[in-house]
């Protein structure tokens, strides 16, 4: 096992610096416990980069990302840039980073944590047992297609190629082999040409995975099932736009978007991007109310998917579970603990490897 890693930190905007700082503290505790070395470089992205460097992500930051073993990102976005052109919006920094690193598959696990089931707006019997992995294609579709914007007419061209669909489908099927061996492919094949190609390619890929069950579900039905019967899902595979919407909807299953980590992965051996699903929440920045769990769990995913240390990932995840069982909950989860209190609770457990609440 490797015992030294170079991590690029991109705190970003709003609460980003707070939650990335929390994750770094937990990673440091894990590094001490497991005897590994973690070297950090910190750079700007999003609104902070626009203010200080004149662009949402600089060429130097992209080069640093390529040279790292992995990227841990906070959040991008700020109301100050709501009326800015697309190229000067904070979100352009994240899109540029994903494109530069070739990160085409976004993994978003949605797990109902027993200590938080009652925080969900859904009934306990609906949420109990939920364990879904959403695999979202990241580099195609309407987000990246040719755009036209005028006062009377606007368009976003949605384009997918066979290669783009094939490679993300294989990520989903490979993940399903390690889980419950079910893939649900979500599309809108009844009206969209891209979805019909999507369905054909996914069906073809499924032939290479005879032990994995595949079903196709239209996106509107999938949205309904996520709140009606979410335990029917194992791995959900879908395109960029649908995946963005469905994963945010799924965030309500565990009770808060502040609990959802994510991993954006490219070819094997390339740096991954690990970030919480939630936004920058500038309205609570600096108040100590930010929920750091999603970023801490993103760091765990980093150790599992890119750094090759599942033992470290499991320790961090266990630390989160122990802290939640001990009622270390931030306001979004109905608790009164601060970001710092939650972080120290997880770090203390990870450092000691035993219950210390």
The rounded radius of gyration (Å) of the Cα atoms in the chain is 20
SS (H, E, C) 315-355: HHHHHHHHHHHCCCCCHHHCCCCCHHHHHHHHHHHHHHCCC
CA 227 to chain centre: 20
Q: Write down the number of H helices and E strands in the chain.
A: 12, 12
* CA–CA separation, 212 and 193 (whole Å): 26
Q: Is 244 among the residues known to form the active site? A: yes
| Helix locations, the chain, DSSP H | 16-34, 47-53, 59-67, 90-101, 124-127, 162-177, 193-206, 219-228, 240-250, 293-305, 310-325, 339-352
Q: Is 143 among the residues known to form the active site? A: yes
- Name the residue with tokens 């019967």: 229
Residue 135 φ/ψ, nearest 5 degrees: -110, 110
Q: What share of the chain is helix, strand, coil (3-state, %, to 5)?
A: 45, 20, 35
User: Choosing from 160, 244, 293, 337, which is the catalytic residue?
Assistant: 244
User: Choosing from 187, 188, 289, 344, which is the catalytic residue?
Assistant: 188
User: Choosing from 208, 220, 283, 311, which is the catalytic residue?
Assistant: 220
**Of 247, 231, 251, whose CA–CA distance to 239 is shortest?**
247
User: Taking a C-beta distance cutoff of 8 angstroms, is the pair 272, 266 a contact?
Assistant: yes
Core vs surface per residue 54-83: b (16+ CB within 10 A) or e: ebbbbeebbebbeebbbbbbbbbbbeebee
Q: Is 220 among the residues known to form the active site? A: yes
Residue 187 φ/ψ, nearest 5 degrees: -150, -170
Residue 213: half-sphere exposure toward Cβ, Cα within 13 Å: 8
- As annotated, the active-site residues are 143, 188, 220, 244, 248
């Amino acid at each position: 096992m490797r015992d030294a890693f170079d991590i690029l930190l991109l705190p970003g905007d709003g609460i980003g610096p707070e939650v990335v700082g929390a994750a770094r503290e937990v990673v440091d505790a894990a590094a001490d416990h497991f005897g590994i070395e973690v070297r950090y470089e910190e750079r700007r992205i999003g609104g902070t980069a626009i203010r200080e460097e004149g662009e949402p992500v600089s060429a130097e930051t992209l080069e640093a990302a390529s040279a790292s073993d992995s990227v841990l990102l906070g959040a991008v976005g700020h109301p100050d840039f709501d009326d800015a052109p697309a190229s000067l919006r904070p979100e352009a920094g994240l899109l540029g980073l994903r494109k530069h690193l070739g990160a085409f598959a976004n993994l978003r696990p949605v797990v109902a944590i027993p200590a938080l089931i009652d925080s969900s707006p859904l009934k306990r019997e609906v949420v109990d047992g939920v364990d879904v992995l959403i695999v979202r294609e990241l580099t195609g579709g309407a987000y990246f297609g040719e755009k036209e914007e005028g006062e009377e007419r606007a368009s976003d061209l949605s384009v997918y190629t066979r290669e783009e669909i094939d490679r993300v489908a294989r990520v989903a099927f490979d993940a399903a082999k390690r889980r419950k061996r079910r893939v649900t492919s979500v599309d809108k094949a009844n009206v969209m040409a891209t979805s019909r190609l999507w369905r054909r390619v996914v069906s073809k890929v499924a032939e290479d995975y005879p032990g994995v069950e595949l079903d196709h579900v239209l996106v509107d039905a999938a949205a309904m099932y996520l709140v009606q019967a979410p335990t029917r899902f194992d791995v959900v595979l879908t395109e960029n736009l649908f995946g963005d919407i469905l994963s945010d909807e799924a965030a309500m299953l565990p009770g808060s978007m502040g609990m959802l980590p994510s991993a954006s992965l490219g070819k094997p051996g390339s740096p991954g991007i690990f970030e919480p699903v939630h936004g920058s929440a500038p309205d609570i920045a600096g108040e100590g109310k930010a929920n750091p769990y999603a970023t801490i769990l993103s760091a765990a995913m980093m150790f599992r998917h890119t750094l090759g240390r599942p033992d470290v990932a499991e320790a961090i995840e266990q630390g989160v579970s122990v802290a939640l069982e001990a009622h270390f909950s931030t306001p979004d989860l109905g608790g009164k603990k601060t970001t710092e209190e939650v972080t120290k609770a997880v770090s203390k457990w990870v450092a000691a490897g035993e219950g210390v609440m």
